[in-house]
């Protein structure tokens, strides 16, 4: 028996990814596009999303750290950066989850300094009720309660990223 309760089942995630891809396709099709995933958490979401986008794009990755063992350390730092230029490109920043918004604010500043033509943000999950954070996000999959979630790329102390659903740890 799993130690996690299902919050969002696999099938619902799949349908949501399809509808997000439709919206993104309308906005990005015909533009030189770089999809930037934030590792490690966004790797599965990005892999599913880009396979539903039927226009040319490049896949780029960076890694930041802000959480250690489920707790925020308060500061965000780049562990490794993009390996290709995004100057003049239309960037889709792909996140697994946005909580306080600290990471996405940091990433937007960081990416803007690389002079892309535009940046839009897509997150599978969104926790924060703050409207100032919400207005930074262009595409939101699901709004969820303020609980620690795992699976579909997201970890519990490094494990559970491979769960096919989004779950909540049983207490």
Residues belonging to the active site: 99
The SS3 assignment for 160 reads coil
Q: How far is CA 122 from the centre of its chain?
A: 6
Contacts of residue 2, defined as CB under 8 A and 6 or more positions apart, other chains included, come to 163, 167
- 125 vs 140: CA distance, rounded Å: 6
In the complex with Mg ion, the residue whose CB is nearer, 21 or 104, is: 104
Cα 9–Cα 14–Cα 18 angle in degrees, nearest 5: 150
Residue 167 touches ligand IMP, criterion: CB under 6 A: no
| Residues in region 55-94 near ligand IMP by CB under 6 A | 66-67
Cα 92–Cα 96–Cα 101 angle in degrees, nearest 5: 85
Residue 151 touches Mg ion, criterion: CB under 5 A: no
Cis amide leading into 102 (omega within 30)? no
Residue 161 touches ligand IMP, criterion: CB under 6 A: no
x/- letters, 96..135, toward Mg ion (CB under 5 A): x---------------------------------------
Residue 29 touches ligand IMP, criterion: CB under 6 A: no
| Binding site residues, ligand IMP, CB under 6 A | 38, 41, 66-67, 95-104, 148-149, 154
| Binding site residues, Mg ion, CB under 5 A | 38, 41, 96
């Amino acid at each position: 028996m799993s130690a996690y309760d299902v919050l969002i089942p696999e099938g619902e995630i799949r349908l949501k990814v399809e509808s997000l891809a439709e919206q993104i396709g309308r906005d990005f099709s015909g533009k030189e596009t770089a999809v930037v995933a934030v590792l490690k958490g966004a790797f599965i979401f990005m892999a599913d999303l880009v396979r539903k986008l039927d226009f040319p794009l490049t896949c780029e990755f960076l890694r930041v750290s802000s959480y250690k063992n489920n707790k925020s350390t308060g500061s965000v730092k780049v562990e490794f950066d993009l390996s290709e230029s995004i100057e003049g490109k239309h960037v889709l920043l792909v996140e697994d989850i946005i909580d306080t918004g600290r990471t996405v604010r940091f990433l937007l500043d960081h990416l803007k300094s690389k002079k892309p033509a535009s940046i839009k943000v897509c997150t599978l999950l969104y926790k924060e009720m703050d409207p100032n954070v919400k207005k930074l996000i262009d595409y939101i999959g699901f709004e969820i309660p303020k609980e620690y979630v795992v699976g579909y790329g997201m970890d519990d102390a490094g494990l559970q990223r491979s769960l096919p659903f989004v779950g909540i740890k049983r207490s």
